[in-house]
Every structure is written in structure tokens, then in C-alpha cells.
């Protein structure tokens, strides 16, 4: 009879330990599923953010390209204007009309 009682005690103890292990496994699985869902959410969020940043970077690069082109056109137009002004002033100076068209207060010899 002692053997049967000891056997029943072992069976009870094994069932109790088995139940505790099963509960731990279920808790771990639940936590794993939660962590996996959280990791997926963060991954999607990161991917969306990367896409938005790449889009913004492309927009900034396009703006910079437009600004660079506008700057080049301005520098070219400015250089042409300065060349035209220089030619105009040199031609007026060589004709002697520039000197005559200046008001007397700007003439060097009228001091």
C-alpha cells in the first residue's frame, strides 16, 4: 500500500509540476507573440519613416538643384549686365559725352 500511495504522490507531484511548466510555456508564448507584434509595428513604423525621409531628401535635392541653376543664371546675367555697363561707360568716356553729362559736382576738375 505504501508503494501505491507513493506512486499516487509522485503522479500528483508530476501533474503539479507539469501544470506549472505548461503555464510558464503559455506565458512565454504570450510574451513572444506580444514582442513579435511590437517588433513588427516598430519595423513598419521605421520603414514608413525611412520612406518619408527619403522623399524629403529627394525634394531637398530638387530644390537645391533649382537654386543652383537659378544662381548660375543670375551670375551669368549679372556678368552680362556688368560687361554691358562697362562697355557703355567706356564708350561714353571715349566719346567725351560722359564727362559732359555729369553734373558739375561730380566732375573732378570743378573743385
Question: Residue 102 region, left (φ>0) first, then alpha (ψ -120 to 50), else beta?
Answer: beta
Q: How far is CA 59 from the centre of its chain?
A: 10
Give me the pLDDT at residue 4, please: 85
> Could you give the CA distance from residue 8 to residue 11 in angstroms, rounded to a whole number?
5
The band of 108, judged by pLDDT with boundaries at 50, 70 and 90, is low
Residue 107 DSSP label: -
Give me the pLDDT at residue 93, please: 85
The band of 99, judged by pLDDT with boundaries at 50, 70 and 90, is low
Mean pLDDT of the 33-42 span: 98
The band of 94, judged by pLDDT with boundaries at 50, 70 and 90, is confident
> Could you give the CA distance from residue 18 to residue 22 in angstroms, rounded to a whole number?
6
Give me the pLDDT at residue 3, please: 83
What's the grid cell of residue 5?
500511495
Q: pTM here?
A: 0.54
Give me the pLDDT at residue 2, please: 83
For the stretch 76-89, pLDDT in tens is 999 999 999 999 99
Amino acid at each position: 500500500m505504501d508503494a501505491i500511495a507513493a506512486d499516487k504522490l509522485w503522479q500528483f507531484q508530476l501533474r503539479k509540476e507539469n501544470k506549472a511548466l505548461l503555464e510558464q510555456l503559455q506565458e512565454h508564448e504570450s510574451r513572444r507573440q506580444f514582442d513579435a507584434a511590437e517588433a513588427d509595428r516598430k519595423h513598419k513604423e521605421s520603414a514608413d519613416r525611412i520612406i518619408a525621409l527619403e522623399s524629403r531628401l529627394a525634394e531637398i535635392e530638387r530644390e537645391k538643384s533649382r537654386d543652383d541653376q537659378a544662381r548660375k543664371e543670375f551670375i551669368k546675367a549679372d556678368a552680362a549686365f556688368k560687361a554691358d555697363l562697362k562697355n557703355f561707360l567706356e564708350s561714353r568716356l571715349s566719346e567725351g559725352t560722359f564727362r559732359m553729362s555729369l553734373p558739375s559736382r561730380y566732375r573732378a576738375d570743378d573743385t
